[in-house]
Chains A and B, each alone.
Chain A
Amino acid sequence: MRKLFSFILMMGLLTFSLFVNAETSQEKGFRIAAKSDRMDNGFGTSIARLTMTLTNSAGDSTKRELEIKTLEKPNENVGDKSVTLFFTPPDVEGTALLSHAKILDSDDQWLYLPELARVKRISSSNKSGPFVGSEFAFEDLTAAELGKYSYEWLEEITLDGLKVDKIKQIPLYKRSGYTYLIAYIDKDINQFRKVEFFNRGGAHFKTLTISEFENYGGTIYRPMLQQMDNHLTGKSTTLLVEVYKFGVELNDNEFKSSALSQL
């Protein structure tokens, strides 16, 4: 009996080590991305105040102030819900976007137009287009759900003094403007530090630099600064967080389309 047990144990260990050794670069890529994604589990709700600054190649810039409310859906197969409300520029003050993220299907989105007091369900098949004139595409700003990409681990390198895993991500959803992305996830706090975007022609045309991480308890981190540089046009957009609030009492009703007129 004892012999049998140790045999089983040995076989088990053997299988396990075989399994570990046999982890493909795809599996490793997914494992690292999943670890990063799951770090964030349990944040519940958050409200962020942000300033988005758009700069053109001549150095002229314009600012947009916005607030993003997010309601976490704990199930990985269901996307989060969010409301983005604009305060400036003044001609779009009060405009709001409600998004119910989906994993592979298009998100459900509604736009609130304050001039007409109108809530309009909009098509979200626009993935690659620019978000309010910025260098961020719609697909860059929708919830970063794990299931939206396939993953491949490439190598481990040092980026700005940090040990990072370099991972290739291929979008699985339709109408992406990217053939693939190269993400750099650090080994210290498992956060995305940099993402390079490759367009339909395969050229590296945008780079997102993510920095100034702050800890909000446990394994929950948020970057205070994100900068997207477009190498083709010389334009850039920064997203600077002014305040993050977690654990705010947010009701699911606040994420229904009819609630957009109540902001």
Chain B
Amino acid sequence: MTMNLNLLHLVSCKAIVLFAIIISSAMANDLSFTPNVTTEFRYFPESPAYDGQFEYFQPSIYFGGEGRWVSKDRKKRVRFEPFLRLDLQDDERTHFDIRELSYLQRFNDFDLLIGNAQIFWGVAESRNVVDVINQFDEVENSDETDKLGQPLIRFGKYTDVGRFEIYYLPYFRERTFPGKDGRQRGPITVDLNNADYNQGRGKWAGDFALRYQHQIGQFDIGIHVFTGTARAPFLELNEEGTRLLPIYQKLTQSGLDIQWTWDAWLLKLEFVIADQSDDNFVSSALGFEYTFFDISDSGLDLGILVECLYDNRDETKTASTLFENDIFVGTRLSWNNFYESELLFGAIIDWETGSIFSSIEYERRIGENMKFEVEAQYLTANDTEPLAQFEHDSNLTLRLTRYF
């Protein structure tokens, strides 16, 4: 609860400052806000594995929006993206977040970004080992795609030899997890009120990062260094053996991401060397994407994706990951039509144990202002795998979004 209060305090301070900026530039000529509402319906065909978990149906509704103000000279920008989900089954999934509330000021060859923001680093599709700035909003989806807004100050500078960025992240966001009622959790729930920060770090300890990026012909290259608190917690059983305590460890890592783009081929590499809680490990993703464009003049594009994931962390010391020595295969089918229909399929297969985490997702627009999505997740795992905890949690999700 204290976390939430702190956060609210932080967010409201920032909101006031940013509001002042907006108001003071009274001739806000380019101000827009597009709210949206999504009704979501999740169905779990199997009975739950653990006590307290709900059965079968999980209806929920979420509110979002995309706000933007750009100054006349296009050098100042404010972005605002709130998020609120109300879930009928899992109290933890009922949550609010400011995904983005940031102020950007561009000067000739440098720029400053202040506020709550979403930052993406990386080139891979299945997992982005270099993407370290934002915390995952795990209660949203277990596939590591939804991220919490991260308070930050970023200074960026363009030079002839590439772009340099310095990040200061003053406040740590804890990962969200499903509650006792929720599916896609282990037998013991995570105690969200008693997170521990080892080595004297706390929420306000602050993280630093440096990033360099450059394009040289067909290569897009990124290099980074991060030192601060690891986003992934190590989960430790409490003394009574009733709850899991999230322990946020100190992390220092450096990493590299490269994409080589040639013809219809994209070759991708993400690589990280990390030092976390007396464990040194590497984490990487290496793969390709090939697209058959405009098949038989139909406008249809078919993309084929393969990625190898490797991670040699010691899970007795360091936060575990679902994705260790896995192979990802995927396809993307885009119709390029009126409705921008798209079908995605992806499976992450552990080549040692045969565990599979797969999903298939179809989306299209309906009319001008609605979007329809259907997603099926299928999981199967060897009992020794962390993924085995979710084995009863294959599901089908329908979403209908209305934009205003």
Number of B positions contacting A (CB below 8 A): 49
The reply to whether A121 and B213 contact each other, CB–CB distance below 8 Å, is no
**Which of B18-26, B194-202, B247-255, B262-270 sits within the interface?**
B262-270
Could you say which residues of chain A place their CB within 8 Å of the CB of B119? 117
The reply to whether B338 and A125 contact each other, CB–CB distance below 8 Å, is no
A223 in the interface (beta carbon within 8 A): no
The reply to whether A133 and B338 contact each other, CB–CB distance below 8 Å, is yes
Type the 1/0 row for B89-128, where 1 means its CB is closer than 8 Å to any CB of A: 0000000000000001010110100000111101100000
The reply to whether A256 and B104 contact each other, CB–CB distance below 8 Å, is no
Nearest chain B CB to A115's CB is how many angstroms away?
9
B277 in the interface (beta carbon within 8 A): no
The reply to whether A251 and B108 contact each other, CB–CB distance below 8 Å, is yes
Nearest chain B CB to A8's CB is how many angstroms away?
49
Closest B residue by C-beta to A56: B338
State whether A90 and B403 are in contact (beta carbons under 8 Å apart), knowing that A123-B266, A257-B220 are contacts in the complex.
yes
Nearest chain B CB to A114's CB is how many angstroms away?
7
A75 in the interface (beta carbon within 8 A): no
State whether A118 and B120 are in contact (beta carbons under 8 Å apart), knowing that A56-B338, A90-B36 are contacts in the complex.
yes
Complex alpha-carbon distance, A94 and B261, angstroms: 24
B384 in the interface (beta carbon within 8 A): no
B-contacting residues, A153-195, CB 8 Å: 175, 177
B-contacting residues, A109-166, CB 8 Å: 114, 116-123, 125-130, 132-133
- Measured as residues with beta carbon below 8 angstroms from the partner, the interface class of chain A is 35 or more
The reply to whether B337 and A89 contact each other, CB–CB distance below 8 Å, is no
Q: Of the candidates B106, B261, B293, which one forms a contact with A121 in the assembled complex, judged by CB atoms under 8 Å apart?
A: B261
Could you say which residues of chain A place their CB within 8 Å of the CB of B36? 90
- For chain B, what secondary structure do more than half of its interface residues adopt (helix, strand, loop), or is it mixed? strand
The reply to whether B297 and A199 contact each other, CB–CB distance below 8 Å, is yes
The reply to whether B291 and A257 contact each other, CB–CB distance below 8 Å, is no
Could you say which residues of chain A place their CB within 8 Å of the CB of B369? 89-90
Could you say which residues of chain A place their CB within 8 Å of the CB of B145? 116
Complex alpha-carbon distance, A132 and B336, angstroms: 6
Complex alpha-carbon distance, A106 and B218, angstroms: 11
Type the 1/0 row for A28-60, where 1 means its CB is closer than 8 Å to any CB of B: 000000000000000000000000001010000
Closest B residue by C-beta to A252: B158
B368 in the interface (beta carbon within 8 A): yes
The reply to whether B120 and A129 contact each other, CB–CB distance below 8 Å, is no
Could you say which residues of chain B place their CB within 8 Å of the CB of A6? none
B14 in the interface (beta carbon within 8 A): no
The reply to whether A258 and B34 contact each other, CB–CB distance below 8 Å, is no
A231 in the interface (beta carbon within 8 A): no
The reply to whether A89 and B368 contact each other, CB–CB distance below 8 Å, is yes
Could you say which residues of chain A place their CB within 8 Å of the CB of B279? none
Closest A residue by C-beta to B125: A120
Which of B73, B109, B336, B371 has most chain A Cβ within 10 Å? Answer: B336
A62 in the interface (beta carbon within 8 A): yes
Could you say which residues of chain A place their CB within 8 Å of the CB of B106? 262
The reply to whether B336 and A256 contact each other, CB–CB distance below 8 Å, is no
The reply to whether B158 and A253 contact each other, CB–CB distance below 8 Å, is yes
The reply to whether A258 and B368 contact each other, CB–CB distance below 8 Å, is no
Could you say which residues of chain B place their CB within 8 Å of the CB of A129? 293-294, 299, 301, 336
Could you say which residues of chain B place their CB within 8 Å of the CB of A123? 261, 263-266, 291, 293
The reply to whether A200 and B297 contact each other, CB–CB distance below 8 Å, is yes
Complex alpha-carbon distance, A89 and B34, angstroms: 11
Closest A residue by C-beta to B370: A91
Interface residue ranges, A against B (CB under 8 Å): 54, 56, 62-63, 87-94, 106, 108, 114, 116-123, 125-130, 132-133, 175, 177, 199-200, 249, 251, 253, 256-258, 261-263
